[in-house]
Structure 1
Amino acid sequence: MLQTTARDIAALTGGALVGGATGDELVTGTARIDSREVRPGDLFAAFPGEHVDGHDYLAAAQRSGAALALVTEDRGTPAIRVEDVREALSALARAQLDRAREECSQLVVLAVTGSAGKTGTKDLLGTVLGAAGPTIAPVGSLNNELGLPLTVLRLTSETRFLVLEMGARGIGHIAQLTEIARPDISLVLNVGSAHLGEFGGIAATAQAKGELVEALSPHGRAVLNAEDRLVAAMAERSAAPVVTWGFTAGQVRGAELTLDDQARVAFELEVPDYLTTLSGDVVPAGRFPVRPDLLGEHQAANVLAALTAALIAGVDPATATAALDGATLASAQRMQALRAGGALIIDDAYNANPDSMRQALKTLAHLGRSHRTIAVLGEMLELGTDTVRLHDEIGRLAVRLNIGQLYVIGDGAAPIHHGASLEGSFGGESEHLDSVEEALAVLEHVVQPGDAVLLKSSRDSGLRRIAGPLVEHLAQRDGRDAPARTGAQQ
């Protein structure tokens, strides 16, 4: 956070000084909601939750050096008492961003949304922009009404680029987030089948995602996927100039897309000679090699999107592409490649929808040229009335892609197994397992050196709990220590 006194925070949030707070307390750190992460000078936000009440950890936060707390009840610790802590954080974030724009005329706020790939693209933007100046692009998916204010409140007087991920579960959600932090550059990746049950259909999804474009001022820039017709149509909703990207259409192009034998993507970035930055400078034209360490053809779209937005933000294309040489993602469990016991484990179990499931299976099929392939698939949540059909289609696709072995986990994912079994070419290659624990036990037995194993499901389906124990087991079986879970890919 930019340095702020308790008195000013109380005024910005409509709160009252309690617990002996004088108003002169100075917050010099950032806002935290986990007392274990508090550092000297931080602001601790105490949330009353279903299972844990942050107010019970006020003393612990104070011992760790918290300068002040946001609370809804006075517990005797220097604090600002407000009616709603989340609303207070939003108000404070809005004010901090306004102040940062006044103090740093070069600050650029970039926001990314899409049905799939937004966290990975946010990570890529962080890597590219970080090569050009101080950048905030936090690890993970801090893309809602709580995570976004916490991201904004990491601003300092040195910040040059602020990268925000904006998610939505219905119409109006992104509009609310942009009221907290209006972007200078809005990047829309795609409109797909994620959360169909909540949105009610593709058209409603497109309406919701397009709110990010509608938030732009005429001085901003919309960066749109020219190959997604619903995204490309958002140009009509933008008061700002539009820049498009794609491999077969768009102003900024990717060319000569390839996958190596390990399914790592590579392509050439083609920059036209008429592109200008947000500040009006001409972007150097030319052709630049792009060689990240990311698995799957679908990663190329995320990379190209991030590069296009970074060029508009003012990063030189040679600097931008060099920053991605060998790059992985900071956020885990997104096509994260882990190797142990001679096997390749692809951990993509943070989230799933039909589009990302298909992409992950195609990547696994590519690896089938040199590996036995095993797909471990769990339920895709929030698909509404189409859930059985969409799961069935995934099972049939696994057969058509010639995946070597399919394990389907849990009752909700059972239509994947049924679809595969009915496709006709599978015998015992598809097996339905009741639980994550059963799946782990089976995998520990069947995975052999040379195998490529995909773990894919929605986060709450539980497959995210498999990769760590499986990698540790394979490493111990091989007589080695388990590798650190560092590089992450989506």
Structure 2
Amino acid sequence: MIALSLAHIARAIGGDLQLSSDDTPETVVSGAVDTDSRLMMPGGIFVAKPGETTDGHEFVDAAVSAGAVLAIVERPVAASVTQIVVTDVVLALADLAREVVAQARARGDLRVVGITGSNGKTTTKNLLARILEGEGETVSPKASFNNEVGAPLTMLRVTEQTRFLVSEFGASAPGEIARLAGLVTPDAGVVLMVGMAHAGGFGGIEATFHAKSELVRALRADGVALLNIDDPRVAAMAPIAGEVGASVRWFGRGADAEVRADDVAVAADGTRCTVTVDGVSAPLHLQVLGEHHVSNALAAIAAATAWGVSLADCVARLETVEIAERWRMQPMGSQRVRIINDAYNASPDSMAAALRTLAQITSADERKVAVLGAMSELGEYAEEEHDRVGLLAVRLGIQRIVVVGTPARRMFLEAVAQGSWDAEAVFFETADEAYDYLVGELRDGDRVLVKSSNSAGLRHLGDRLGESFS
């Protein structure tokens, strides 16, 4: 975090400053901010967030022992550390993030880019961060820090030397992206796609469109909206950019995109294509598996080149990325039995993309195996969308469809209804049962996709399979 006095922090978050004997209002702190006492570092700021099962106030002493010099709390605690008492620590965290980014802008040349979309946010964030790191200090989210706590914690890692802040904005309800993006007023905003992810929380696809467009509305007047020309709903956000005074830069496969990909070829070692930026072309070999990640790479290139990074530098840095993130199209196992662990998150769109990738990278003498779990947060659309996945798996010629968990059972039933009834589709209640089956069933030449939402827990099944067949 940038250096701020205790008095400055207290004013920024509207709290009551209660000093320890060693501090004054002008004492300066600049350590890392965290809500987890186990991650506290010397000189850090501990935010005592109440949780569903634990209360951060019970861990203030542990945070102090680890080196915390300030605690932000909702009630005073008996600990030998300066405390700022606020009404709501989550709101205080957001207020502090807003102030830190504002101070960093005033003190230096900080540029902020926000990324949203129903799928691909984390991959795009990592790709863009890899490009920008070559230009200067870049702060980006750890894992999927994109909610009301994770996004501010990322913002609070900004220092006086930071040149780029990459923020990932997720949401499960309208208004959340507006609140998060409003903390930083981005210079650039990337919108990847409007799909069915979280549709249950939003109330449908049109409500999802309005929620994702909140990022475009939050842009600075001289900012730029990086929009996916291939998604009609994203393309429909262009007039919103005009309303706030931002320009539009298109990326995608469409002929009118300023940042475009052609000649896309998918293989087991990644995806190759030709990228064209404002009329200049270069070949790209993206090691991250899946044709759908080409769009994420184009989004990253569009943002970086809008800020003056050359296409050559973008390509060179992207080609060093081996995986998007753990549990996201992560190759495991061996050449004998290849496991693709993509079970951190799932939506109808990402499930379809992963299944198509499995079909594309499996040769005629190899066998396609899909281990599938439930997609969460679909609400009233859950049954229909799980049916669609089962149907698609059959149409793609997946030879073994292994469905795990009662919430995903409709995938199995639909696959059977579509003809995968002769042991081609199987169902198991638990991941342990599926593991026992797969260890005995998988053979040389199998290519295995493990795909589900995080809540289904199949990412750990993927890890076990990867280790067993390594």
How high is the TM-score relative to the length of structure 2?
0.95
The answer to whether the 8 Å contact 1:121/1:306 transfers is yes
The answer to whether the 8 Å contact 1:433/1:439 transfers is yes
Query: Which residue does 2:215 correspond to in 1?
Result: 212
Deviation at 1:199, TM superposition (A): 1.2
Q: Please state if 1:473 is matched with 2:468.
A: yes
Q: Give the Cα–Cα distance (whole angstroms) in 1 for the partners of residues 142 and 12 of structure 2.
A: 28
Deviation at 1:340, TM superposition (A): 4.1
The SS at the match of 2:189 is strand
Q: Give the Cα–Cα distance (whole angstroms) in 1 for the partners of residues 467 and 423 of structure 2.
A: 28
The SS at the match of 2:251 is strand
Q: Please state if 1:377 is matched with 2:368.
A: no
The SS at the match of 2:286 is coil
Deviation at 1:330, TM superposition (A): 5.4
Following TM superposition, the consecutive aligned residue runs of length 4 or more in structure 1 with deviations greater than 6 angstroms are: none
1:234-383 correspondence to structure 2 within 5 Å: 234-238=237-241, 239=244, 240-249=246-255, 250-260=257-267, 262=268, 264-272=270-278, 286-329=280-323, 331-340=325-334, 342-369=336-363, 370-383=365-378
What is the count of residue pairs matched by the alignment?
A: 461
The answer to whether the 8 Å contact 2:44/2:69 transfers is yes
Q: Give the Cα–Cα distance (whole angstroms) in 2 for the partners of residues 350 and 150 of structure 1.
A: 21
The SS at the match of 1:70 is strand
The answer to whether the 8 Å contact 1:124/1:303 transfers is yes
Once the two structures are superposed, residues 221-268 of structure 1 have per-residue CA deviations (whole angstroms, 9 ceiling, x without a partner) of 0110111110001001112110111112312211111112x1611111
Q: State, as a whole percentage, how many aligned pairs show the same letter.
A: 42
Q: Please state if 1:54 is matched with 2:60.
A: no
1:12-411 correspondence to structure 2 within 5 Å: 12-18=12-18, 20=20, 22-77=24-79, 78=81, 79-104=83-108, 106-238=109-241, 239=244, 240-249=246-255, 250-260=257-267, 262=268, 264-272=270-278, 286-329=280-323, 331-340=325-334, 342-369=336-363, 370-411=365-406
The SS at the match of 1:100 is helix
The SS at the match of 1:205 is helix
Q: Give the Cα–Cα distance (whole angstroms) in 1 for the partners of residues 240 and 321 of structure 2.
A: 34
Q: Please state if 1:438 is matched with 2:436.
A: no
Which amino acid in structure 2 is aligned with residue 242 of structure 1? Answer: V
Q: Give the Cα–Cα distance (whole angstroms) in 1 for the partners of residues 421 and 289 of structure 2.
A: 27
Q: Which structure 2 segments of 5+ residues have no match?
A: none
Deviation at 1:406, TM superposition (A): 0.6
Between stretches 224-233 and 342-351, larger displacement belongs to: 342-351
Query: Which residue does 2:423 correspond to in 1?
Result: 428
Query: Which residue does 1:276 correspond to in 2?
Result: none
Q: Give the Cα–Cα distance (whole angstroms) in 1 for the partners of residues 403 and 302 of structure 2.
A: 38
Deviation at 1:426, TM superposition (A): 4.4
Which amino acid in structure 1 is aligned with residue 403 of structure 2? Answer: V
Deviation at 1:45, TM superposition (A): 0.8
Deviation at 1:387, TM superposition (A): 1.4
Which amino acid in structure 2 is aligned with residue 440 of structure 1? Answer: Y
Q: Please state if 1:10 is matched with 2:10.
A: yes
Once the two structures are superposed, residues 26-60 of structure 1 have per-residue CA deviations (whole angstroms, 9 ceiling, x without a partner) of 32222111111111111111112121221222122
Which amino acid in structure 2 is aligned with residue 350 of structure 1? Answer: Y
Q: Give the Cα–Cα distance (whole angstroms) in 2 for the partners of residues 206 and 460 of structure 1.
A: 25
Q: Give the Cα–Cα distance (whole angstroms) in 2 for the partners of residues 341 and 227 of structure 1.
A: 34
Q: Give the Cα–Cα distance (whole angstroms) in 2 for the partners of residues 92 and 83 of structure 1.
A: 14
CA RMSD, Structure 1 to Structure 2 (Å): 1.5
Once the two structures are superposed, residues 431-486 of structure 1 have per-residue CA deviations (whole angstroms, 9 ceiling, x without a partner) of 011112211222222223332111111111121221222223334xxxxxxxxxxx
Deviation at 1:298, TM superposition (A): 0.6
How high is the TM-score relative to the length of structure 1?
0.91
The answer to whether the 8 Å contact 2:333/2:469 transfers is no
Query: Which residue does 1:486 correspond to in 2?
Result: none
Which amino acid in structure 2 is aligned with residue 251 of structure 1? Answer: E
